[in-house]
Structure 1
Amino acid sequence: MSGFAGIDIGSRSIELVLVDANGEVLQQLQADTGFDPMAEAKRMLAQLSYQQIMATGYGRNLFEISFDATTVTEIKAHARGARACFPTAETVLDIGGQDSKAIALFANGRVKKFEMNDRCAAGTGKFLEIMAKALGFSLAEFSAQALAATSDINISSMCTVFAESEVTSLIGRGQDRQAIARGLHQSVIRRVKTMLNRVSNDGDIVFTGGVANNACMVHFLSETLQRQVLVPPQPQFIGAYGAALLAAGLD
């Protein structure tokens, strides 16, 4: 089955999407990035047939050299994928493993403005992963326990190392793990709220990236900003989906 492919080489995982000439999804693949992302990408590509491919994500430049492919920024790829899922969307929030991005769109779907946090793990999936482990929860448990909490404990440190130390100290003092989990989610919300308000302060938000699968993040984001948060099916594939649409000339 031949089509147009988009590959998103992220810090934690690689997503690959194949679409037809009309933009309908034909195939989706996902794998851990691992220590050799190009070898993993080659293995994934061997599983499908494509006419053209476009790469995005932090590994896109290396992919361009290795596979003689065209590339697109994560900003444009996520904007295109989000807009395909929600045609009237004008704000996109993408939280991945190592960075987070707030994107404002023009009425025609073009990128108007964006803010990006890529200098530290705070406000990213990696931060949440480390904090869940510090509390002894899986990621799914971490989200569920935070949602179930009736109160939260303010986490003052946004640096991942200091926040982990603060969480360990709170546990040692016998503080409730549910309340700590809620406080950690709220700390990420405060971080992304600042980015979102810089690019757009009204209208619905399309939430993409792996962290959009976290129900607690979706709930607190909507509650804090008083805006509807729209999550596409399988939000972790939106960057690759957008790149595939662009590869097909559906821009």
Structure 2
Amino acid sequence: MRYAGIDIGSRTIELVVIDEAGQIVGSRQADSGFNPMVRAKEMTRELTYDSIMATGYGRNLFEISFDAPTVTEIKAHAVGARVLFPGGTTVLDIGGQDSKAISVLGNGRVKKFEMNDRCAAGTGKFMEIMARSLGFEIDTFGDEALQFKNELTISSMCTVFAESEVTSLIAQGCSPQDIAMALHKSVIGRVVQMLKRVLGDGDIVFTGGVALNRCMQQLLADKLDRKVLVPDDPQLVGALGAAFLARDAG
């Protein structure tokens, strides 16, 4: 038997298939596009599985279209993180349009969580907009920030006002790298406030696309004085958790 988990996010869709032993036997990732359900259908045709469970913001549409069970992103990421890192007690997931901090019990169950889904601040979308305003690619944004020389401060976390601050700092002759670091620190400051409300005693598992940002990894570890664990494919964690829940559901 093979079990699939699909995470339909605002920006991307991830699909993971595992076998009975919990080994990953296939995975896919694609942009959500204009019609995520069309993209999801294409992806599910590429891999063989016996049952599937959906998570992510588009899970309800998937349930209607594919008559498949669903699970919240919170639970899916908690399970996926514990599968990859059994010692992790806190999960930080920064997605395209929201960020989540999750306290996880030893059996993978969620103890409590905090979520920012009411503004772009502290999300992947915010990082993309700020990178673009400085002329950087999102994939190299963190590396550029690590090249900073001077300390700067970004006081606003509203995307519109922060972009205005960036424009002002550029006009003052500040280097893009210095501004990039200031932006990273402002995001980390907001994320840490959320994390501290759920933080466990063990390691932090960092998931979502923003987890690939080396500057974010470093700042997070320094700010909390805690080990930060990053999966090889942090964007697949939600889909992986959904796949394991599909398996456990029988």
Q: Same fold (TM over 0.5)?
A: yes
Q: Distance in 2 between matches of 1:47 and 1:69?
A: 18
Is 1:68 the counterpart of 2:93 in the alignment?
no
Residue in 1 that maps onto 2:180? 181
Residue in 2 that maps onto 1:127? 126
Compute the TM-score of the two structures, normalised by the length of structure 1.
0.97
Residue in 2 that maps onto 1:171? 170
- Quote the offset at 1:250 in angstroms: 7.3
Residue in 2 that maps onto 1:239? 238
Is 1:38 the counterpart of 2:37 in the alignment?
yes
1:1-251 maps to which residues of 2 (within 5 A)? 3-200=2-199, 202-249=201-248
Q: Which moved more, 1:220-229 or 1:145-154?
A: 145-154
What are the superposed Cα offsets for residues 28-55 of structure 1, whole Å, 9 maximum, x if unpaired? 1000001100000001011112111000
Are 1:61 and 1:71, in contact at CA under 8 Å, matched by a contact in 2? yes
Q: Distance in 2 between matches of 1:201 and 1:44?
A: 36
- Quote the offset at 1:142 in angstroms: 1.5
- Quote the offset at 1:107 in angstroms: 2.4
- Quote the offset at 1:234 in angstroms: 0.4
What are the superposed Cα offsets for residues 132-185 of structure 1, whole Å, 9 maximum, x if unpaired? 000001113321111111333110110111111111111111112111000000
SS of alignment partner, residue 22 of structure 1:
coil
Q: Which moved more, 1:212-221 or 1:133-142?
A: 133-142
Q: Distance in 1 between matches of 2:18 and 2:237?
A: 12
Q: Aligned in 2, Cα 1:174/1:201: closer, same or farther, shift over 3 Å?
A: farther
- Quote the offset at 1:201 in angstroms: 5.6
Q: What number of residue pairs does the alignment pair up?
A: 250
Unpaired segments of 5 or more residues in structure 1?
none
Unpaired segments of 5 or more residues in structure 2?
none
Q: Distance in 2 between matches of 1:89 and 1:135?
A: 35
Deviation above 6 Å: which 4+ runs of structure 1?
A: none
Are 2:120 and 2:158, in contact at CA under 8 Å, matched by a contact in 1? yes
> What CA RMSD, in Å, does the superposition of the two structures yield over aligned residues?
1.3
Q: Which moved more, 1:195-204 or 1:169-178?
A: 195-204
Are 1:23 and 1:250, in contact at CA under 8 Å, matched by a contact in 2? no
Are 1:100 and 1:124, in contact at CA under 8 Å, matched by a contact in 2? yes
Q: Distance in 2 between matches of 1:71 and 1:79?
A: 15
Q: Distance in 1 between matches of 2:16 and 2:45?
A: 13
SS of alignment partner, residue 47 of structure 1:
coil
